[in-house]
Amino acid sequence: MSTDLELDKLDQKELEQLRADVDQALKTLHARRFKEARDAVTALAKEHGFKLEELAGATPSAAKAKLPAKYVNPDDPDQTWSGKGRKPKWFNEAISAGKTESDLEV
């Protein structure tokens, strides 16, 4: 790419304006390329009978499968916990009351 712009002849204000113009042009280019890519992927998904959101995992049909229960509340068997993530209140209360983790296993 050839340009006739002689940067060493510009003053500070002109250089700062040039930088701002280049930054804005790059943002505009990025936004345009992003839209083009999204449109292309959306069209490809549609061609195969899907919506882009389905393929991206953003719909309930693509939700993670629930992990199997590892622990059960002895006072309410409908309350279970997989052992992953935050401990449920009933689990903490049972441990505080003297139960062990093995006492609560399914």
Residue 26, domain member (yes or no): yes
Task: Identify any residues that bridge with 80 across adjacent strands, giving them in sequence order.
Answer: 72
Q: Kindly give, in sequence order, each residue whose CB lies less than 8 Å from that of residue 74, ignoring residues fewer than 6 positions away.
A: 94, 99, 103, 104
- For residues 59-83, average pLDDT: 81
Q: What angle do CA 80, 87, 102 make, to 5 degrees?
A: 65
Cα-only R_g, the chain: 29
The bridge status of strand 71-73 relative to strand 76-81 is antiparallel
pLDDT at res. 73: 93
Q: Which of the 8 DSSP states describes residue 83? A: S
**Contact, 71 vs 90, CB < 8 A?**
no
Residues 49 and 75 in one domain: no
Residues 16, 43 within the same domain: yes
pLDDT digits (tens, 9 = 90+) for 54-69: 888 765 554 566 789 9
How does pLDDT run across 5-25, given as a tens digit for each residue? 899 999 999 999 999 999 999
Same domain flag for 24 and 49: yes
Helices (H), the chain: 12-47, 52-55, 89-96, 101-104
- Structural domain boundaries enclosing 91: 71-104
Domain assignment present for residue 25? The answer is yes
